[in-house]
Structure 1
Amino acid sequence: MTIAPDNPRQGASLLYRAMRDFVQSADDNLPGKFEITKEGIVLDLMTPMKPHELTVLRVRKRLEKVMPEELVAHTGEPDVEDETQGIMRRPDVMVIAEAEMEGEGSFDPRSLVAAVEVVSRSHPDNDWGTKMRDYPLIGVPVYAIFDPRTGTGAVLSDIHPTPDGPRYATRKDFVYGEDVTIAEWTISTAQLPLYAEE
């Protein structure tokens, strides 16, 4: 016997909460990083590689050198969550006001100034595909992607409506070694590591 809510929105909300409960219980017990997308739960089993983590560290430090003191380039938890859209993500770096970190619960994605992702070798479509769709959908105004596979990246901004939902209207590609502007702040991409060839 199946018990389904009369209201499809309520059903979607119940399903999302069940997925969120699973992700929160599994995070400490299972390897990898769990996130929730429109398609369901995504698991990145990648063990963080030194080039990935070094890129996150250098981007975070470079941003914090040029941003106002009240902003931080935060790495780690909590997640960025929009329950109405059924999406929960954890960017590698979140540019956010330090004041937004007070209290309990997940970050409201609309409180982020920018999200930064470093492409994983094992699952690049997550960063170049589903996150490129999810971040404008939940209102993250700027999304920057650094890709150690190729030494390139892109900064996406200017959310606008499309028939498929909100999307970024502006994309500025860059090559490692160039300066890149994320929101209002320009940092160098020099000396960012690349993944070793397999």
Structure 2
Amino acid sequence: MRDIVERTRESVPGKLEITHEGIVHDMMRPGGPHELTAARVSRRLERVMPDGLLAHTGTPDVEDVTEGVMRHPDVMVIAEADMEVEGSFDPRSLLAAMEIVSRSNPDNDWVGKVRDYPLLGIPMYVIFDPRTGTGAVLSDIHSTPDGPRYATRKDFVYGEEIMVGEWLISTDRLPRYA
């Protein structure tokens, strides 16, 4: 599946990712509110994180070849040293992954990635939902009969401060979809 994604990535609109169920195709490219949310969250995190850590919003993907899963978080908290690799990032090197919920495919962020990110060993997953002005911080991976899952969920409303790892950031003035 990875070969298919690599060959078609430039010729199809939107974003392609790989899950156990197959290829996820988010048809729409992220728009202004989505990108502004990612930029503001990234900037707010980088103001409070120590040197050597980034709240990265670019490429590449994160991939666990043995699990057959390749995802692309909107924002990744990662050490600069862990970015000095060719190809995809090791998902276990991320301290957190953040997603801004897609208007066209919200289940990808609220269902698929809630399942995949603990499987990939990403210790914290933060969801920002511009459709509703709400979100959630998921953490504390634990084993279940269906595989690893997050044990702790803290919901928030835009305007509140949230903890991302050990860093407190505001969710004030995050844009909403019209």
Aligned residue type for 2:38: V
CA shift digits 1:32-86 (9 cap, x unpaired): 1000011000110112121111100100000000001100011121110001111
Give structure 1 regions of 4+ aligned residues with deviation exceeding 3 angstroms: none
Q: How much does 1:31 deviate?
A: 1.2
More helix by share: 1
Do structure 1's residue 175 and structure 2's residue 157 form an aligned pair?
yes
Work out the CA distance in 1 between the residues paired with 2:77 and 2:148.
Answer: 21
List gaps (5 residues or longer) in structure 2: none
1:119 aligns with 2:108: no
Which of 24, 28, 31 is 1:42 aligned to?
Answer: 24
State the identity %. Answer: 71
- Name the counterpart of 2:63: 81
Q: Hey, what does 1:99 align to over in structure 2?
A: 81
User: Any gaps of 5 or more consecutive residues in structure 1?
Assistant: 1-18
Per-residue deviation, residues 63-113 of structure 1 (Å, max 9, x unmatched): 000001100011121110001111000000000000111121211110000
SS of equivalent residue, structure 1 residue 126: helix
Q: Which has the larger radius of gyration?
A: 1
CA distance in 1, matches of 2:124, 2:142: 12
SS of the residue 1:52 aligns to: helix
Partner of 2:2, secondary structure, is helix
State the superposition RMSD in angstroms. 0.7
- Tell me how far apart the structure 2 counterparts of residues 66 and 89 of structure 1 sit (CA, whole Å): 26
Aligned pair count? 178
Q: Are residue 128 (structure 1) and residue 110 (structure 2) matched?
A: yes
Structure with the largest fraction of strand: 2
Cα offset, 1:28, TM superposition: 1.7
Match of 1:65 in 2: 47
Q: Secondary structure at the match of 2:141?
A: strand
Q: TM-score scaled to structure 1, two decimals?
A: 0.88
